[in-house]
Amino acid sequence: MKISNFFSIVAIVLAAITVSSCNNRKFQVDGTITDAKDSTLYFENMSLNGPVVVDSIKLDADGTFLFKSDAGEAPEFYRLRIADQIINVSIDSTETITVKAAYPSMAYQYEISGSEDCSKIKELALLQMRLQGQINAIAQNPDLGVDAMNDSIDRVMQAYKTNVKMNYIYKEPMKAYAYFALFQTVRLGNTVSLIFNPRSSAEDIKAFAAVATSWDTYYPDAERGKNLHNIAIEGMKDVRIIRNKMAQTLDASKINTSGVLDIVLQDNKGVTRKLTDLKGKVVFLDFHLFSGEGSTKRIMMLRDLYNKYHAAGFEIYQVSIDPDEHFWKTQTAALPWVSVRDENGVNSRYLISYNVQQLPTFYLLGRDGVVYKRDVQIKDIDADVKALLSRGG
């Protein structure tokens, strides 16, 4: 199975698709926006193709407004807008949401009631504004050089992402506010960028995948969930390409003189196992996917190899990248060799270090811990194992 089969592009903007409702369920957004007499207040749906005006009203002196529309089966995103002042709201079924604000400070000074999601979105919007202020202050600091400025911006960005992931995204990934958090942006110089970037960050991809999985469960037919899956899958592909370009790959022509690259992972009993601890043995280093096609046949082959040569100093160190930990533990419970799993799955740095392009892939290591050959160089595994065992050191 090619690793590239895991992957797939989706350009990203905060968005969704207007869901036509045939169940006659309605929602409404009402309230007042004062100090905005004769201004036009737009009520816009944030679709996958950009903002779509649903309704609008020219405000009078008291600023009252009321918008109604059909409610969909999954959470939907809208915004109230006067010029460039925006209040984001999410709609889940038949809610009534009330907003009170004053122009022109409505984007950051408003009251909202009737929806926990909308209250959380307000928190996120204020956090994002604070982050943007920090970034602007760093960028405008004349005492910082370019490197120091970039390092400072990176630190505040990482702190923000950690906070939002733990307290908003991973806390309740099925919620509309978790989805909203994924698509927040900041301005860096003249560029508007996503805070969570699935095009270059494996950790950010995990956040997208977590929300996508939850939406699959709670809203199985939602276009947003499908969109998130496409983003996560394509992000995995992009990150893989970047890592392959940056990583120092193993040259097949020099592999017999290359030193071993250590692997440190927990086995199926929770014990940390290091590949280098097996120095002194002939090691079959196997990168494997138990949920992959042909896994059972391969395990039977490895059992035969292990039974024939283990007593003479042969060991198997098998690295699983299966996403389901319970499934992996079940599959490896009765195996006699070292079975470890990398929870990072296809984003495992060990796959990059060993230039693994497809699964399964294996390497044969001598007693000195040096890589002897990889699978594509081996024609007779028994002969090579015997040759390495006979060397004795």
Q: pLDDT digit string (tens) for 109-157?
A: 999 999 999 999 999 999 999 999 999 999 888 888 887 888 888 889 9
Calculate the dihedral angle through the C-alpha atoms of 288, 291, 293, 295, rounding to the nearest 10 degrees.
Answer: 50
- Looking up tokens 């790959």 gives 249
Task: Give 352 or 302, the one with higher predicted confidence.
Answer: 302
Q: Measured in Å, how far apart are the chain's first and last C-alpha atoms?
A: 35
Contacts of 142 (CB under 8 A, 6+ apart): none
Regarding whether 301 and 229 lie in a shared domain, the answer is: no
Q: Pick the residue with more confidence: 234 or 26?
A: 26
Instruction: Show the domain range for 150.
Output: 126-246
Is the domain of 86 the same as that of 159? no
CA-CA distance, 384 to 309, in Å (whole number)?
12
Domain boundary among 80, 114, 148: 114
Nearest to 210 by CA among 172, 236, 241, 245: 172
Can you say whether residue 211 is alpha, beta or left, with left for phi > 0 and alpha for psi between -120 and 50 degrees? alpha
Number of structural domains the chain divides into? 3
Same domain for 352 and 299: yes
Confidence of residue 47 (pLDDT cuts 50, 70, 90): confident
Task: Find all residues with CB under 8 Å of 287, minimum gap 6, and list them.
Answer: 319, 321, 350, 351, 354, 356, 359, 360, 361, 362
pTM for this prediction: 0.57
Residue 253 lies inside a defined structural domain of this protein: no
Residue 66 within a domain: yes
- Are 220 and 292 within one domain? no
Looking at the fold, whether 136 and 44 belong to one and the same domain comes out as no
Note whether 206 and 185 are same-domain residues.
Answer: yes
Q: Tell whether 107 and 130 lie within a shared domain.
A: no
